[in-house]
Chains A and B, each alone.
Chain A
Amino acid sequence: QVQLVESGGGVVQPGRSLRLACAASGFNLRSYAMHWARQAPGKGLEWVAVIWSDGNKKYYSDSVKGRFTISRDNSENTLSLLMNSLRAEDTAVYFCARDWPRSSMDVWGQGTTVTVSS
C-alpha cells in the first residue's frame, strides 16, 4: 500500500547537524512533489519545505531557510532533509508528506522525533 516511513531522528546538541530520511513505497516518488512538516511538542503543525517532483525547485519556511536542505533520490524512492545549525526550537516530530491532489498533502508518514538539547 501507499506508505511513507521517516527515519533518522534522535537527540542532538545545539549547533550540530542531523539528516532525516523518508522512504516511499507503493507509489512512484518521481511523480510527486514532496514536503516536510513538523510539530513541536504540544504545538500545531508547521510546514517546513517542499521539493518539486524533478528536484528543480525547493522552497523553505523562513524559520529554516539557510539551515535546512531538502533533497530527493527518485531512483531510490527516498526524500531527505539535512538539518544544520540545529536550535532548541527545532525540537519536533518531523513528518514527510506527498503533494496530491491539487496542492494538498494526502499521504503522511508517522513521523520521526528530533530533540535538540545539550
Chain B
Amino acid sequence: DIQMTQSPSSLSASVGDRVMITCRASQTISRYLNWYQQKPGNPPKLLIYTVSSLQSGVPSRFSGNGSGTDFTLTISSLQPEDFATYYCQQSYSSLWTFGQGTKVEV
C-alpha cells in the first residue's frame, strides 16, 4: 500500500497567517493527490483534486502544489472558518489511502 505522511500533525496559527501543510507519499503518485477539510461532527469536504484544481465553491485562498511524492496545501490568509483538520489522499493506486491529518488550531 502507498503510505501518506503529513506534516505537521498539528499547528497553531492566527487569522491572517499563511499556513502550509505538506504531504509525502511513499512512492510516486504522479498528480493523483487530493486535499480535504473536516470539521468536528461533519464529513470531509473536498478542497483540491489532482494536486492543484480547486473544487467548485472553495475560496481561492486555498491552493495546492507538488508532483511525484511531495505535495503542499497552502492557505494564503487563514480565516476563522479554516480552523479544521486537513487530510491528503492519494488515488494513484487502486487502494486509496489518506494521510493521518493535520489539525489547524488557534
Contacts and interface: CB of A to CB of B under 8 A. Distances in A.
Contact of A95 (B32, B43, B97): B43
Contact of B96 (A47, A62, A101, A111): A47
Interface residues of A, number: 23
A109 B42 CA distance: 9
In the complex, which of the residues A62, A95, A105, A108 has the most CB atoms of chain B within 10 Å of its own CB atom? A105
B95 A47 contact: yes
A62 B101 CA distance: 20
B98 A104 contact: no
Interface residues of B, number: 26
B44 A45 contact: yes
Contacts of B53: 101-102
16 contacts: A44-B98, A44-B101, A45-B36, A45-B44, A47-B98, A95-B44, A103-B32, A103-B49, A104-B49, A104-B50, A104-B91, A106-B55, A108-B44, A110-B42, A110-B43, A111-B43
Contacts of A109: 43
A59 interface: yes
B43 A35 contact: no
Contact of A61 (B49, B85, B95): B95
A50 interface: yes
Chain A interface, DSSP helix/strand/loop, else mixed = strand
Interface in A14-48: 35, 37, 44-47
Interface string B23-49: 000000000101010100011111001
B94 A59 contact: yes
Contacts of B97: 47
Interface string A75-112: 00000000000000000000101000111111011110
B98 A105 contact: no
B81 interface: no
